[in-house]
Structure formats: C-alpha cells, structure tokens
Amino acid sequence: MTEVPILCRVQALYPFKSNDPSSLSFDQDDYIDVLTKLPSGWWDGLCKGMRGWFPSNYVRIIEVEEEEEEAILEPQPPPPPMQTPPRKRNTEYRLSLLSNNTSNWILQRTEDGDDTYYYNTATGEMRIDPPNEDDEDDYRWSDQSTLASKDAHYFSTYTARTSQATSSYLYPETPSLISKASTLSIPEEKEMNESLDWQKLLYYITLTIHQLITAVKCEQEFTYPTHAAQIVNAIRYMLVSSNTIDKDSIYIRTHSSLRTHHRTMMACMSKLILSAQAAQDDQRILAECSELLSMVKHFVSTCQELVIPLIPADPQFNFLDAKKEDMMLNNRYSLQLNLAENLETMGTSIQDSAETIMTCINGWSGEDKHSLIVLLFTHFRNLSNQTGLFLAYLDDTDFSNVLDHSEMNDLKQGKQALADALGLLFIRLQALTNEYIKDFSNSLEETKEAAVALFDPIEQICSSVLHLATKDRSRSNSAASVTQPAKKTTEQKKESIILEEEEEEEEEEEEEKVSTTVVPLERHQSEVVQSSTKPPVIQRSQTTPSSDKIKKFFGDDAPLEVVGSKPATTERPDFLKHDYGPNDIVFNMEGNVKGGTLPALVERLTMHDYFDMNFINTFLLTYRSFCTSVQLLDLLEARYNLKCPEGLTEEEEKIWEEKKLKLVRLRVFNVLKNWLELYYNEDDSILLDRLMEFTQTHIKNTLKFSNGQLESLIQKRKEGVAVDNVGLKKMILTLPDPPEPIVPKNLKRVKLLDIDALEIARQLTIMDFKLYSAIRPIECLDKAWSREDDTVAVNIRASIEYCNQVTSWVSDVILSQHDMKKRSIVIKYWVQVAEKCRALNNFNTCMAILSAFDNSSVGRLKRTWEAVGARTNQILQHIRKIMGANRNFTEYRALIHSVNPPCIPFLGIYLQDLTFIEDGNSNELKKNKELINFAKRAKTAEVIREIQQYQSSLYQLKPVEEIQEFIKANLLSTRDEEQLYNESLKIEPRERDDEKITRLLQESGFL
C-alpha cells in the first residue's frame, strides 16, 4: 500500500459545486488534502473520500496544528489510571508517539487519502490508535459458553459487553486470526455516545476493508474469513446506529435513493463474503473490496444529505428495560398459559418448515442444482417469516413480573440461539450459490445440520415460557388470596388506560400473528403439558449443554440406537394435503401462481400450510376481473365449513381439526376482515346482511377471539361510513401548516396573468389530486375507462377529461392573443406554470400543459416560438426531456420512483401499461382454458399498487375558491380542436419559402 504524498492541507472559504466529474465539490469550512498544484491556480485534492480539481482562490492554507479534531473523529480508549496527554489528529504528534513504540509499526495514509493509520511491517496488522504496550489490558475478555450454542462468546470485564466468535461456525475450515491487534473492534459505547458521526463510521469500515486488502496482498488466505467478518460487523454497527439495518426502516422506505444504495451495498458485501470464504480468486476479492468501499461511501453520503441521526448502539437484551412502566405499556400480551400454547403452535410450525428443507435435501437426485437451490430459498423465506413472527410475539409479551426467575436466562439464551441458528442456516444456503464450492454434497449436509440446530432453541424457549407462565399464575393466585392490594398494580394500570377498542385490535393482531404461521409438514404433537416422564417430542441430533430443569421437564433422552442423528422426516398424511388436484393450479419457475381454477385460487387464498401475503393482495385487488363478490363469498363460506374427510380415526380427526381446519378458518376470517376494510365497494352492499348472518352464527361460535370485529366492520359499511382508497384503516398524520396562498389584488375580477404562476400551479394541483386520489382499483380492470357506457371507471374518465380540458385551455389562451409579443408572454407564463407543477411533483398537469405546446394549433406558430426567450426555451427543453416518450418514458419512470410524496404521476403511462397487459395476455391460460391466467392479474396488480402508492400522501395546500372558480369556468368554455386550428391559421398563415425569405429580410432591415 503506497503512501500518497500530500503537499499541504487547506480549508474551504466558500462552497464549490461543479457538475464536471473531474472537479471536486466541497462545502464551506471543509478540509482538503492538496496533492498537486498547477500554475493556472487549479489544485488537485482529496475531500471526504473524493478526489478532483478545484480553484485555489476558494481555500486557504492551514498549518498542521490548526486541524480540528472533529474532521475525522477517532475512538477514545478507556482512560488509564495515570494522566496521559490528549490525543491530536496531526501527523507530527502521531510520529512522536510512534517513536516510543516498537519499530515494526509505521504510519501510512489510506488509499483514498482521507486519513492515516498504523501498519505493522512484520505482521501485516493495521490499527487506528498509536500502538501502546499496555493495549491488551484495555479490553479484558473471558471465554464463556452459552447453553444453547456450541460457539464461544467473549465477555468484556471492562465494558460488560458480549461478542460472539461467529467465525467458528461461519467458516469452520479456516482458523481465526490469532493476533488481537489486527482485530478492529467496534468503538466503546462510552466513546460513541460522545462523538459518533458518519465520518467516524466510514473511517472504521474503510480500515476493515483495507485490512482484507492487505491480507490479500500478503497472501494470508487463512485470515480472509476473519477480515470479512470484521467488515460485516463494522457495516452492521453503522446500520444499527442509523436505524437502517431493516429494509422496512422509515428512512429506507421513504427515500428511494437511500434504498437503492442500501440494496447495492448489501449485495456487494454478500459477494465479498462469499469470495473471501472461497479464497480462490485474489483479484476478484480486491475488485469487490473496492466496489464495496465505493458503495459504502455512496450510502454514507446519502445519509448525510438526508441528515439521518446516529444513535450509539450496543447489543443488549430488551428484558433489562422491562421494569420501566412506560416500556411495559408497549407489551401487548400478558404472560398466560394460552400464550405458551400459541408459542408452541408457532414453534412447531418452524420445526416443520425446517423438516421441509431437510426433506428437499434428502430427496435431491443430484442432477439439477439450480432448481434445488431455488426451492430451498423459497422454503427458507417461509421459515424466516415464521421465525420473525415467533420472536416478535415473544418480544411483545410482558415478562415484568418474572424477571428475577432463573428461567429468564434460559429464555434469553434460547432467543439468542434461535437467532444464531437461523443466521447459520442462511449462511449455509448462501454458500450453496457459490460457483467455486468444492463439495456440494458436503455443503448440503452442513445445511441439514444447520436446519437441525433450530429445534433445540425452540424447545428451550417454549418450555421456559410455560414455566414462567405457570409461576406467574401461581404468584397471582397466592397474592389475590392473601391480601387485597391498596393500589393498582402495573398490569391494572395498563388495562385502565387502554381503550376497549384498542384491546380488540390487540387481540386481533395476536390472532393474525398466529394465523400467519406456516405448516408445510405435519406438526409435532405437543407434549409440554403431559407427563414429564416421556421423552422429548423432537429428538436432538446434536450434543448440546442442557440444564437440569429442561431434562426434568422433558425427560431423559431416548437410547442412541432408537434415535438417529437427525430428526426423522415423515410424509404428510393425505388428510393434511391440499384439496385441489394437480391439474387445478399451475406455478411458474419462481414458485408463484401462474394460473388456476377459481376454487383452487380461493383455497390458495386460505391455505392452512402456507401464507403468501403478496398473493392475497393481488387476488383481492383483481378478483373482480374473473369472478363476482357473490362467488367469492360462496367459496369462502365453503372453506370455513370444511368437511372432515371420511374414514379417519378419532385421533386423526383431532389432528385434522388442529392442523388444518383451525388455520383455514383463521385465514378465511382474515380475508373477510381485509376485504371489508380495504377492498369493499358500494355494489357489494347486497352481501352485508348475508355476511352478518354468517358472522353471528358460524364465525362467532367457532372463533372466540373475534370479539365482534367483523360485525363492527359490517355495521360501519351499512351506516355508509365515508371510504376512500385507504379504506377503514387510515393513518392520521400530523402535517405542517400549508403555505399562505399568493392572492391577486382583485379577486372579484380575476385575470390569468394577474395570478402568480406558483399559485395557479398549486390550485391546479389541488384539483388534479382530488381526481387522482378518487381512482379505485376496480376502475383499472378490463380497460373499463375505454367503455363509454361503463359506469365503473368514472374517476379515471374524470381525470382524463380534466387533462384534455387543461390542454385545450392553454391552447385557447395562447391563440386568443393576436399580437405576437403578447402570445409569447402567455407562452412564457404557461412554461413557468408547467415548471412549478413539476416542482410540486404534479406530473399529470405538467404533461397536460406540455401537450398544449406540442399540439398542431400551437406547435406550428414558428414566429411566436422564435420570440420566446432562450431561458424559457431552456426550461421547456428540460421538461420535455423528463416527460419525453423515448424508450417508453424511461427517464420519467426513473424520476417518479425517486421522488418523495406527495406526488401526482402522469396517469396516461399507467393506462398505457394496463392496456398493454390487457391486450397482450389472455384471461385464461393458453394450454388450459379452464385455468384463470393469474399471472396477468399479478402484472395488473403491480400497476394498481403503484397508482395507490401516491394516493394516500396529501398535499398541504390551501384552496382559493375564487381562483378555482376562475379555472373551472375556463376549463368548461374552451373551443374545440378544429376551431383552435382555424384560429391558428388566421393569426399566423402558412408561408411559402419565398414569402418567408422576404419576411426575414424585412425584419432584419435589408428591405
């Protein structure tokens, strides 16, 4: 790694921005390292990891001593007992420290020139801080092991933090790096609380990447996995601190540019981890390191632009905060025995999903690797969703009354072990996709072992929760029988402040979580509440430490000759299989539904062993294109009243009811609830009485937790509660005050040019958004807007008519001016209005105005357009570039996905896409006309969802009644196209070539 010569350091006096890729942009007071000086006054330098040219008169040269500490903050080690001089950032002080240490350490500058670091020429190690002899005393780690995992944990006696040695199970074939100094640890929480910023996080990530680069150049292959794990830890710490570790983070959801950088960065990191694990192509690792560093810098730069706050984060169990009453109010579920039973049901579903993965591996014939990998990842996605719901259900439980019991430690360890096992399974599956893998069969065996590792933590969690629930119940009973408390307990306080309506919603969410679990294989019979002398339900395949409590609770392990090394996989009984036939439904290569009969699609909608939220949303958005609401309700009622197959024993009937009927009914309940909330139309009112009767008889008698939820929704629909596209589920937002309107002086006699261009753009936006937000999903089906006699797509047709009226109005106003200068002034005005609409993200009205400029009546006015100024033409050219139809509106589509709402997209593009989908795909599959083409509906649903995406974010603008009345009056009084074209010919007749030459000579003064 070569050292970059730095001539001097300068500080920016003024901000400098340039679109030239070779230039360096910076803000005022930024620090820049100068690498080259030209006589012309342009200097080459580095700033914030970027390199480029900048004018020297924008900066001032500073001395080394003037460099500020906050330019690049460094982690501060724990203060030693004796007083030490404060740490400085300049190179001279570092060299003075270096002279007192071992001679093997040298000071070098990073490749991007952003900072310096210490490099050991003997060992190849790197570090940020000056190497001191007593460094190893700063962090005192003791080796510990947990109950649920065979992997070592290291516990810091100084900071009380725990760090797991993940490399032992992520990369079992490669030893970890022995030297402590080479490991770049995450900064202490005490330090980060004081000085955490983006530059510091970027600095740590950069050094971890440089460690891997140095290891590659030194050909230390055995250290690649360790350095890769350090990179993962550094990036994970950055994501946790910025609350962007989850793709559902508010910052990632609301900023498309950040979402793109996040996705790209994570993909680059995954590729680098796989390459480092394979350790076969050094050049590829170096290239991927460079790519990852670039992606991290883009991500950090975007976060800085969005001013995303950083919160120092250290991993810790949330149970420590459970004693706080305000935290306990967020725990929706109380610790009861029925909660333990629900957890056990969800846990067995996870175990069954793990068995499905093992069954797929056992049944692999050894031919098609790609199909096997796709299938395994499909099952893993299902399993990870179940595990997430399981852990979320656990996190929402109130353990405040049992924090001091020993089972809480077992519960914590079980949760950590379950998370570790799930992560290990993902790593194993991801390793299967590596094209450099040496032994695919061996990797499959490791994947099976990783799936087996999920079983024990689930047992441990379920048993711990059952013990805790039993103890909590005993404590409550004894307390109630001995004394009457003088004041309310925490639980009573909680119940007293929660409204009855909120309690119903919490119970509903609890049951929905249970209903979303997936049961691909036969669920194990629960024996938690049975005799403690029986062996465990799921036999362990690994020898793991177990406490006496668990052994006493589940009983002794079965003999080795009876229990195999892995859980036995059994075929699912016929009575738990699907009811549709093999020819009733067809899937594509990705595992999504391609087509099916209506009964098969409804069964898929309410599947007992699979929960596909995307399929459910697509079905409910588009079902009106292939069936009626009456047919759907008939099939849902039939699914709810599913008949037990004949010939089953009494025990099999119980299994069928528990594993199929109960879950099917939960699915039907959720579908009906979602339909009433989000997908109900006024035409469905004839079904409300029938649905009410079905709810009060069948559902009420079989699903006790419903608590009248459906009855309440049905009653609201009967009462005609106002419903928009968001349905009955609405988010109440606290929006800022709208800007004050720019009102003309005389509102009684409003003239167009008296209204400010921004204000008329605002009023047009208010009118346009009212029409756009009223569009319903049913209007987008079967090209309903193109049928003149159709009464369904009234809102789409109203929006189309509005755009046509705006286009005609703009054309009429321009052509009403017989003087060429006045016409050019009017054109300039409407160009400004179009630009203001674009700035307001009102692309629909912007396109309507642009269409007026491009129609035959206005577009042919060559002399008028020549009189329009260059600045106006430049603005108009920019709008045309954005809204241009080149390559199917490629630039506009990219822009619309990057803007933040509120927004009114150009409706014509969506109608064009829906038309192509409708005309290019048949309603039934070509090979089997009896199967509904559901893939076509999935494409339609994607367009509908994109339309809905912008309907819920409201514009904060004040309507001005006088201006809106003025606009409406003009929209209704425009002339038709033929009249406008004739008027255009009058004010600017057609010219022959000789007439044009004569006119130009006269205007120039030659004639």
Query: What per-residue confidence (pLDDT) applies to 314?
Result: 54
Categorize the per-residue pLDDT at 991 as very low, low, confident or very high, splitting at 50, 70 and 90: low
The predicted-structure confidence for 148-202, as pLDDT tens digits, reads as follows 333 333 333 333 333 333 333 333 333 333 333 344 444 444 444 456 788 888 8
Distance CA 276, CA 271 (A): 9
pLDDT at residue 182 in the model: 40
Fold of 100-316: Four Helix Bundle (Hemerythrin (Met), subunit A) (1.20.120)
The tokens describing 488, both together, are: 């309310």
Q: Find the mean pLDDT for residues 753-779.
A: 94
**pLDDT above 90 (res 555):** no
Task: Please compute the mean of the pLDDT values over residues 387-414 and round it to a whole number.
Answer: 81
DSSP 271-304: HHHHHHHH---HHHHHHHHHHHHHHHHHHHHHHH
For residue 521, pLDDT beyond 80: no
Of 56-70, 243-257, 282-296, 801-815, the one with minimum mean pLDDT is 56-70
pLDDT at 152: 36
Phi, psi of 876 (to 5 degrees): -65, -40
Of 889, 890, 853, 886, whose CA–CA distance to 872 is shortest?
853
- Higher local confidence (pLDDT), 305 or 517: 305
In CATH, what number does 753-905+954-987 get?
1.10.840.10
At residue 126 the predicted structure's pLDDT band, cuts being 50, 70 and 90, is low
Asked whether residue 389 carries a pLDDT value surpassing 70, the answer given is yes
- Per-residue pLDDT band at 911 (split at 50, 70, 90): very high
What is the reported pLDDT for 940?
Answer: 94
Neighbouring residues of 57: CB distance < 8 A, sequence distance ≥ 6: 41
- Whether 110 has a pLDDT exceeding 50, the answer reads yes
**pTM listed for this prediction:** 0.48
47 vs 446: CA distance, rounded Å: 47
Q: Which of 57-71, 317-331, 733-747 has the highest mean pLDDT?
A: 733-747
Please list, in sequence order, all residues whose beta carbon lies within 8 angstroms of the beta carbon of residue 913, skipping any fewer than 6 positions away. 943
Q: Which of 479-488, 491-500, 804-813, 995-1004 has the lowest mean pLDDT?
A: 491-500
**According to the 3-state scheme, what is the secondary structure of 950-1004?**
CCCCCCCCCCCHHHHHHHHHHHCCCCCHHHHHHHHHHHCCCCCHHHHHHHHHHHH
Q: How far apart are CA 342 and CA 837, in angstroms?
A: 53
Return the closest-CA partner of residue 337 out of 149, 467, 210.
Answer: 467
558: pLDDT confidence band, cut at 50, 70 and 90?
very low
* Fold topology of 329-483+504-554: Four Helix Bundle (Hemerythrin (Met), subunit A) (1.20.120)
**Strongest mean pLDDT among 272-276, 488-492, 567-571:** 272-276
Which of the two residues, 642 and 708, has the higher pLDDT score? 642
For residue 917, the model assigns a pLDDT of: 92
With a CB cutoff of 8 Å and minimum separation 6, the contacts of 814 are 823, 826, 827, 830, 852, 858, 861, 864
Q: What pLDDT, on a 0 to 100 scale, did the predictor assign at position 92?
A: 40
User: pLDDT category, 128, cuts 50, 70, 90?
Assistant: low
In this predicted structure, what is the pLDDT of residue 241?
86
DSSP at 668: H
Residue 807: its pLDDT value, please?
Answer: 94
Q: Per-residue pLDDT averaged across 431-439, rounded?
A: 76
Question: Based on C-alpha coordinates, what's the Rg of the chain?
Answer: 34
Q: What is the mean pLDDT of the chain?
A: 74
The segment with the largest mean pLDDT, out of 274-283, 306-315, 909-918, is 909-918
Confidence of residue 831 (pLDDT cuts 50, 70, 90): very high
| Residue 226, burial from CB neighbour count under 10 angstroms (0-12, 13-18, 19+) | buried
**Does residue 99 carry a pLDDT above 70?**
no
Specify the pLDDT at position 145.
35
**395, two tokens:** 């996190």
Residue 237 main-chain phi, psi, to 5 deg: -60, -40
Q: What's the pLDDT score for residue 827?
A: 94
pLDDT in the model for residue 844: 95
Residues in a beta bridge with 118: 107, 127
Containing 432, the helix (H) or strand (E) segment is helix 407-432
DSSP 728: T
Q: pLDDT at residue 83 above 90?
A: no
Judge whether residue 1001 has pLDDT over 70: no
pLDDT: is 23 or 110 the higher one? 23
Written as six digits, the tokens of 134 are: 């007593």
Fold type of domain 8-62: SH3 type barrels. (2.30.30)
End-to-end CA distance of the chain: 75
* pLDDT at position 565 over 60: no
Query: Where does 574-718 sit in CATH, by number?
Result: 1.20.870.10
Amino acid making up residue 261: H
Q: Specify which residues 117 forms β-bridges with.
A: 108
Tell me what pLDDT residue 496 has.
34
**Does position 323 have pLDDT exceeding 50, yes or no?**
no
Q: Where are the domains of the chain?
A: 8-62, 100-316, 329-483+504-554, 574-718, 753-905+954-987
Comparison of pLDDT for 216 and 400, the residue scoring more: 216
The 10 Å Cβ neighbour count of residue 884 is 13
The answer to whether 763 touches 967, Cβ cutoff 8 Å, is yes
Contacts of 1002 (CB under 8 A, 6+ apart): none
pLDDT of residue 311 exceeding 70, the answer is: yes
Mean pLDDT computed over 7-18: 86
Per DSSP, the three-state class of 10 is: strand
How many angstroms separate the CA atoms of 711 and 718, rounded? 10
Kindly give, in sequence order, each residue whose CB lies less than 8 Å from that of residue 330, ignoring residues fewer than 6 positions away.
396
Percent of the chain topping pLDDT 70: 70
Q: 538: which 2 tokens? A: 């799921």
Residue 559 has pLDDT above 50, yes or no: no
Residue 587's DSSP bridge partners are: 593
Q: What pLDDT was estimated at residue 305?
A: 86
Is pLDDT at 12 greater than 50 in this prediction? yes
- 32: β partners: 10
pLDDT band at 467 (very low <50, low <70, confident <90, very high): confident
pLDDT at residue 14 greater than cutoff 60: yes
Domains 100-316 and 329-483+504-554 share a fold: yes
pLDDT, one tens digit per residue, over 246-270 is 777 888 878 888 888 888 898 889 8
The packing angle between helices 907-920 and 934-949, to 10°, is 180
